[in-house]
Amino acid sequence: MDARGAVIVGAGECGARAAFALREEGYAGPTTLIGEETHLPYERPPLSKEGMASDASGLKLIADAAHFADAGIRLLLGSKVIAIDRAAKTVSFRSGSTIPYEMMLLATGARPRRLPLAEASGHCLYLRTQDEANAIASRFRQGAHVVIVGGGFIGLELAAAASRHGCTVSLLEAAPRLLARAVPPEIAEVIGNVHRSNGVDIRLGVSIAGFQDMDRGVEVHLAEGAPLRADFCIIGIGAVPNTELAQEAGLAVDNGIRVDGTLRTDDPYIFAAGDCCSFPLSIYGGRRVRLETWRNAQEQGTLAAKNMAGGNIEHAAVPWFWSDQYDRTLQIAGLPDEGTQTVRRDLADGAFLLFHLAGDGRLVAASGIGIGNAIARDIRLAEMLVARRAVPAAGSLASAAVKLKTLLAA
Amino acid sequence: MSEWVEACAADDVEEEDVIRFDHAGRTFAIYRSPDDEYFATDGLCTHEKVHLADGLVMDDIIECPKHNGRFNYKTGAAKGAPVCVNLRTYPVKLEAGMVMIQLD
Ligand SMILES: Cc1cc2nc3c(=O)[nH]c(=O)nc-3n(C[C@H](O)[C@H](O)[C@H](O)COP(=O)(O)OP(=O)(O)OC[C@H]3O[C@@H](n4cnc5c(N)ncnc54)[C@H](O)[C@@H]3O)c2cc1C
Ligand code: FES
Q: Which CATH architecture has domain A327-409?
A: 2-Layer Sandwich (3.30)
Which one of 3.50.50.60, 1.10.150.300, 3.90.10.10, 1.10.600.10 gives the CATH number of domain A5-111+239-308? 3.50.50.60
Coil, helix or strand at residue A36: coil
| A interface test, pick of B54, B64, B70, B83 with most A CB neighbours within 10 Å | B54
Angle subtended at Cα A71 by Cα A66 and Cα A74, rounded to the nearest 5 degrees = 80
Q: Which of A376, A344, A374, A375 is nearest to A357 (CA)?
A: A344
CA distance A111 to A127: 9
Express each pLDDT in A190-216 by its tens digit. 999 999 999 999 999 999 999 999 999
What pLDDT score does A181 carry? 84
Q: How far is the CA of B65 from the centre of ligand 2 (A)?
A: 7
Q: Which of B39, B14, B81, B97 is nearest to A24 (CA)?
A: B81
CA distance B31 to A104: 43
Express each pLDDT in A319-330 by its tens digit. 999 999 999 999
> Which ligand is the nearest neighbour of the Cα of B78?
2
CA distance A19 to A388: 30
DSSP A301-336: HHHHHHHHTT--PPP-PPPEEEEEETTEEEEEEE-G
What domains appear along chain B, each with residue ranges and CATH number? 13-90 (2.102.10.10)
What pLDDT score does A378 carry? 97
The pTM assigned to this predicted structure is 0.95
CA distance A408 to A382: 9
> What are the residue ranges of CATH 3.30.390.30 in chain A?
327-409
> What are the residue ranges of CATH 3.50.50.60 in chain A?
5-111+239-308, 114-235
Q: Looking at CA atoms only, how far is residue A295 from chain B in angstroms?
A: 8
Cβ atoms of A274 and A243 closer than 8 Å: no
Ligand 2-lining residues (CB < 6 angstroms): B 45, 47-48, 50, 64, 66-67, 69, 82-83
Using the Cβ of A63 and the Cβ atoms of chain B, whether some distance falls under 8 Å is answered with yes
| Mutate-to-test residue for ligand 1 from A42, A44, A126, A129, highest number of ligand atoms within 8 A of CB | A44
* Residues with Cβ within 8 Å of residue A171, at least 6 apart in sequence: A147, A148, A150, A151, A155, A156, A159, A195, A200, A201, A202, A203
Complex ipTM tops 0.90: yes
Q: Which of A9, A20, A49 is nearest to A305 (CA)?
A: A20
Contact between chains at B54 and A376 (C-beta distance less than 8 A) = yes
Cβ atoms of A197 and A189 closer than 8 Å: no
CATH of domain A114-235: 3.50.50.60
What pLDDT score does A2 carry? 65
Express each pLDDT in A121-142 by its tens digit. 999 999 999 999 999 999 999 9
DSSP A100-148: EEEEEEE---EEEPP-GGGTT-SSEE--SSHHHHHHHHTT--TT-EEEE
Q: Which of A322, A373, A381 sits opposite B54 (nearest CB)?
A: A373
C-alpha dist (Å) from residue A212 to A161, A218, A228, B46: 25, 6, 10, 46
| B interface test, pick of A294, A380, A384 with most B CB neighbours within 10 Å | A380
What average pLDDT does the structure give for chain A?
96
Burial B30-59 (b: 16+ CB within 10 A, else e): bbbbeeeebbbbbbbbbbbebbbbbbbbbe
